[in-house]
Amino acid sequence: MQNRTPTLRQLQILQALAHYKNISLVAQKLFISQPSVSIQLKKLSELYEVSLYQANSKTIELTEAGFAILKASNEIFDSLDNLNSQLDDLKGIKSGKLRLCVVSTAKYFLPLLLGSFCKKYPLIDVELNIGNRSQVIKRLKENKDDFYIFSHCPDNENIISEPFLDNPLVVVAPEKHELTRQPHISLARLAHYPFIMREHGSGTRRTIDIFCKQHNLKLKEKMTIESNEAIKHAVVADLGLAILSRHTLDYILESGLVILAVDEMPIESTWFLVRTKNRNPSNLATLFYQFMQNEGRTELAKHNIKAQKTLNHKTLTQKSYSPQ
């Protein structure tokens, strides 16, 4: 029987091809010549007697057979990473590479958690990918990462999802807006003001749409923006109100924004830690999961208290030096 065992280099090149979709770019990123890339891909194709990819316009897409080999190569490299981690554990060392992919709103709190986690395990490396919902779902389907973070889990039977953090959504306004002086604001009154909304398909927008349907609320959508940062700037510029995750506001010192006291608010939502069922978690991934479930909320609460104290001190200092 023919021995059909590819080299690790061939599998590495295939992984790069799936990511960069361009042979010359693969050669550039892997620091090898373009003919070498083509030769190794040809050998891999001949080894299994299948076509690995096809060219579409200026990009390259893997065939079904190519994706099958890619899936196996990901599992092989994951196993090698897990082996390194296990051997380090035997030597009393916690190390390895943790691969994470999160939706864009999670970038406001995840770095704070990773900071604490990396201090606890200083020998680890972290590969963090941030994208919109469709980009994260694409990586999930390709099984590229140890964990994914969503506020709305995708419809996929091949995932395991665990809630780990509340994700309240609040209404924000510019600090001089007339509604900031109101102790209670009804949903009916809220409907009279223009809103700056996240794009359709984002987790935040999905939660808002479900809430509006439940409360028979129709918001006046003046503008749609894909970036939380751009939305906050637009609100400060008095272009409209917005509904954002509280996490986009809690962990940095915002200026020019006020959270409104709206009836039935905040909108309750949850952050989920997601992984695929067919990816065996490494020891490092298990450590991260345990950290997120057991220490994540506490770490964020500590940082929030510290940030609030800093904000209070800053406010007092400004008042002390303000002209009388």
> pLDDT tens digits for 98-133?
999 999 889 888 888 898 888 888 888 899 999 989
Q: What angle do CA 295, 296, 300 make, to 5 degrees?
A: 115
Among 218, 246, 268, the domain boundary falls at 268
Same domain, 225 and 260: yes
Same domain, 221 and 298: no
- Alpha carbon of 190 to those of 145, 198, 222, 262: distances in Å? 41, 17, 14, 8
Global pTM exceeds 0.75: no
Residue 89 has which token pair? 């554990």
In a domain, 199, yes or no: yes
Same domain, 181 and 37: no
What confidence category does residue 193 fall into, taking pLDDT thresholds of 50, 70 and 90?
very high
Same domain, 150 and 241: no
Does the structure show a pLDDT above 50 at 253? no
Of the chain, the end-to-end C-alpha distance in Å amounts to: 91
pLDDT score recorded for residue 155: 84
In a domain, 306, yes or no: yes
Does the structure show a pLDDT above 70 at 320? no
In a domain, 1, yes or no: no
CATH number of domain containing 12: 1.10.10.10
Does the structure show a pLDDT above 70 at 97? yes
Asked whether the bond before 266 is cis by omega within 30 degrees of 0, the reply is yes
Same domain, 143 and 279: yes
pLDDT in tens, 203-250: 899 999 999 999 999 999 999 998 889 999 999 999 999 999 988 886
In a domain, 80, yes or no: no
Decide: 300 and 109 in contact? Cβ < 8 Å: yes
Helix (H) or strand (E) holding 163: strand 159-166
Distance CA 174, CA 242 (A): 10
pLDDT score recorded for residue 1: 45
Decide: 225 and 302 in contact? Cβ < 8 Å: no
Residue 221 domain boundaries: 169-268
Same domain, 277 and 306: yes
pLDDT score recorded for residue 321: 41
Decide: 190 and 171 in contact? Cβ < 8 Å: yes
The mean pLDDT value of the chain amounts to 85
Q: Who has greater pLDDT, 324 or 59?
A: 59
Same domain, 138 and 284: yes
In a domain, 324, yes or no: no
In a domain, 229, yes or no: yes
Does the structure show a pLDDT above 50 at 313? no
Same domain, 155 and 283: yes
- Gyration radius (Cα) of the chain, Å: 24
pLDDT score recorded for residue 302: 65
Which residues, including other chains, have CB under 8 Å from residue 139's CB and lie 6 or more apart?
101, 129, 131, 145, 148
Number of domains in the chain: 3
For residues 180-193, give the mean pLDDT. Answer: 92
In a domain, 26, yes or no: yes
CATH number of domain containing 202: 3.40.190.10
The percent of residues above 70 in pLDDT, for the chain, comes to: 88
Same domain, 112 and 196: no
For residues 22-40, give the mean pLDDT. Answer: 89
Distance CA 141, CA 278 (A): 11
For residues 14-22, give the mean pLDDT. Answer: 90
**Chain position carrying tokens 């057991």:** 294
- 8-state DSSP, 280: P
> Which of 39-48, 52-61, 115-124 is modeled with the greatest confidence?
39-48
Same domain, 60 and 132: no
DSSP, collapsed to helix, strand or coil, labels residue 169 as strand
Helix (H) or strand (E) holding 299: helix 296-321
Same domain, 199 and 225: yes
Same domain, 161 and 198: no
In a domain, 88, yes or no: no
pLDDT score recorded for residue 304: 59
